[in-house]
Structure 1
């Protein structure tokens, strides 16, 4: 009898555990089915539309291409001219990602600004900052979303190339820096004047395409430091400095002349005493008396 009772108790215990396990499994399956039914999600990770992920992969490739190109052309700076295609492609595909509609939802709303990391937006903003910091758009004329070098950029590049060719050819021919300065002076001055005319404000360098700025800085460095052609300006500078020194000494000379050479020194002592001093002396004497 006791054996039958023990078997019965064990059977009830096993049945209870089995029922709980089946209930837990059913609840888990129900929860998974509910998650699977939600649009764009599958348990346990979200699944995004293929159209959006394809655009995201393309953005990653274009961002990588621009990064490689910008670092490669960092010195000398030719980033704007050589990386404009990569930047244009990235901008187009990013705008497409932001406006692409899938299942009545844009890809941008699914992939951008969904977390504090926001990797896609951060990388795009940094690339845009690099492009804008160099004023690269000023190098081009944009027609039908196609970037072409502007007339000013083409003209400057031609003048800079002619100036450097003049310097190189003259130096190789004469091996004399002074001769280079004389022969290429007009070419360099014309280049410098045209460069200054590209400025949109009084500052200048902050509104000119960085490719042009770097090219002009390189030319100026060769002209002034390597060739020492700016020594022709020393004579006017010396005259200016001498005149400035003389003008600065005039006030000092004036006061020295007044003190030692003026007519006040020859006046009698009676006239030199001031009324203020006399009034003080009288008041003191009156108190003593």
Structure 2
């Protein structure tokens, strides 16, 4: 009798244990289900960091678009870039209960959205050489002395142009050429080449391009350089003609015209004549 009771009760105990395991698994799945046909079992803190990261990416994108023309992206969006950069680093380096946030969101699928958006924003920042506008001390930006000096010289040049504007633009060119040339020469020192597109902060490049356009196209002040260019071209033309004048003078006015024909014959010609005479003999 006891034997049969043991046989009956044992399956019941196993069924009870299986039911407890199933109930625990069911509870975990319910907690993990997010209501959108997906299950999540990752730390909530990682998703909070991800949300902050997405907000900072949105803020920088918004700022960069609004400051795309004229280009003031580097200076006006640097704070948003720093916050975006720091939040990305936090996402990479945070670990909750042994689970790395990086392992959840970075390089886990073909889309890899987090990494792609980060790389796109970083590409915009690097294409503009925006780091070149600042001195970075412990990751914090401050405008370089060269950047501050350039903006001051630009403001001085534009103030001079505005104060001396006239219908003929002749006075503004004469009065402001010194300020403009100082600005242009200083800009050239910021890079190994006069263009500086690949090494100078894009805010500075765009500002210099705008100033040059105003000076040369709107004010037509480059005409002040035409007189020196004309003098240079005339001198170059005279120097180029001198050899021709020399050879013509020697050819028609030199003493060789008064020499006998025998002396005028070259040694090369005499050699040819001798060889011909030798063959005839």
Of residues 258, 271, 275 in structure 1, which corresponds to 2:267? 275
Q: Paired residue for 2:96?
A: 102
Calculate the TM-score normalised by the size of structure 1: 0.72
Does the CA-based 8 Å contact 2:92-2:102 persist in structure 1?
A: yes
Q: Paired residue for 1:86?
A: 80
| Change in CA separation of 1:267 and 1:46 when aligned onto 2, cut-off 3 Å | farther
Q: Paired residue for 1:234?
A: 226
1:200 deviation in Å?
4.7
CA RMSD for the aligned pairs? Answer: 3.2
Q: Paired residue for 2:164?
A: 170
Of residues 214, 218, 233 in structure 2, which corresponds to 1:222? 214
Does the CA-based 8 Å contact 2:188-2:194 persist in structure 1?
A: no
Does the CA-based 8 Å contact 2:43-2:99 persist in structure 1?
A: no
Residue 158 in structure 1 maps to residue 161 in structure 2: no
1:239 deviation in Å?
0.9
CA distance in 2, matches of 1:252, 1:268: 26
1:137 deviation in Å?
1.7
| Change in CA separation of 1:288 and 1:76 when aligned onto 2, cut-off 3 Å | same
Q: Paired residue for 2:240?
A: 248
Q: Paired residue for 1:201?
A: 192
CA distance in 2, matches of 1:219, 1:208: 16
Q: Paired residue for 1:185?
A: 177
Q: Paired residue for 1:284?
A: 276
Residue 141 in structure 1 maps to residue 125 in structure 2: no
Q: Paired residue for 1:264?
A: 256
CA distance in 2, matches of 1:242, 1:178: 25
Unaligned stretches of 5+ residues in structure 1: 1-29
Does the CA-based 8 Å contact 1:41-1:48 persist in structure 2?
A: no
- For 1:92-141, what per-residue CA distance to the aligned partner results, in whole angstroms no more than 9, with x for missing partners? 11111121123434322332233454333233223222212222122223
| Change in CA separation of 1:112 and 1:242 when aligned onto 2, cut-off 3 Å | same
Calculate the TM-score normalised by the size of structure 2: 0.74
Does the CA-based 8 Å contact 1:76-1:214 persist in structure 2?
A: yes
CA distance in 2, matches of 1:138, 1:190: 21
Q: How many residues align?
A: 251
Residue 58 in structure 1 maps to residue 52 in structure 2: yes
Q: Paired residue for 1:126?
A: 120
